[in-house]
Amino acid sequence: MEIVLAKTAGFCFGVRRALDLVNEALALDKKDIYSLGPLIHNPGVVDNLSREGLVEVDDLSKIPCGRIVIRSHGVGPQIYQQAVLKGLKIIDATCPFVKNVHQLAVLLHEQCYQIIIVGEREHAEVKGVLDSVNNDAMVINQIHDLDGKFISPKIGIISQTTQDIANFQTIVAHLLEYAKEIRVFNTICLATSKRQQEAAELSKKVDLMIVVGGKNSANTTRLWEICRDNCSRSYQVENSDELMSEWFKNVKKAGITAGASTPDEQIQKVLKKIMKYRG
C-alpha cells in the first residue's frame, strides 16, 4: 500500500502563533493563566496545555485575577473591555487573519452595508465577528439559508476564515443577482485555501483518505467533506487510536491530510500506524 501525506497537513500560522504565545506565558509563570474557551480546536493539545497550567473557562466572570488568553478564534470588543475593567493582563492569541475579518466587518458596518458573513453561526470565530458589529449581520452557511431573508441592495460579504472556498464563491455569485452595490472580501485564509485544494486533488487519486484533527474543528471537518466528495472511503480521526484495520482492506493507495490545529506528532503517529496495515 502506497501512503501519501499532504504537504500542507498540520499547524497553520495562526495556531502555531497562539501556542507559542501561551507556551511563553506558561514558561514565565504557570499560575493564574486562563483561556476563554479552548485555545484551539484540538482536544489533545488543549489537554496538554491544561496539564501545564492553562485553565479553560467559559465565562470571563469565572476569572478572579491574573492573565486571560484570547483564543485564536478571537472575541468581540466587549470582552477586551471587561478584561481591562477586571484588571486582567491580556494575552491576545487571536489569529491575525481573524482580526482582519473583524476590521472589515466594522468598516462595512460604518459604511452602512448590510453585512453577510459566510460561515457557521455557532462557530467561535463568527460569534466574535458578530460581537464586533453588535450582531448587526446575517450569517449564511448555505444558499438555502437566504430563503425568505431580506437582502439589501447594498451588501458587504466577508467569510469565516476556514470556509470552503467553493461554497463562498457559490453564495457570492448568487447574491450578485440581488445587489445593486456589493463589496466582497475573500477572507478565507490562504493556508485554508491551499489545504482544501490539496485535499481535493489528493482524494481523487487514492482509494482511501484519512483526515486527522479534532471533531470540533471546523476546518478539519471541511477537509473531510471535501475528501468525501471525491473518495467515499474518507474518515476523520482525532488520533491513531481511532484507526481501524478493516478500513484498509484492499487499499492500494491511501492519503493523509490534517486540520490546521493538528500537531505534527499526532500526524506522525497516524502515519506510523497506517504503515503497519501494509500488506
Cα atoms in the Cβ-side hemisphere of radius 13 Å centred on 166: 8
Q: What stretches of 176-250 show up as alpha helix (H) in DSSP?
A: 190-203, 218-230
User: Which of the following is catalytic: 125, 177, 225, 246?
Assistant: 125
Which amino acid, residue 25?
Answer: A
Active-site residue flag, 125: yes
What are the DSSP E strand ranges found in 78-162?
Answer: 89-92, 114-118, 138-140, 154-159
DSSP symbol at 75: -
Q: Which of 263, 217, 264 is nearest to 236 (CA)?
A: 217
Contact 261, 45 (CB under 8 A): yes
Contact 35, 56 (CB under 8 A): yes
Beta bridge partners of 116: 138, 157
Residue at 275: amino acid letter: M
Residues catalogued as catalytic:
125
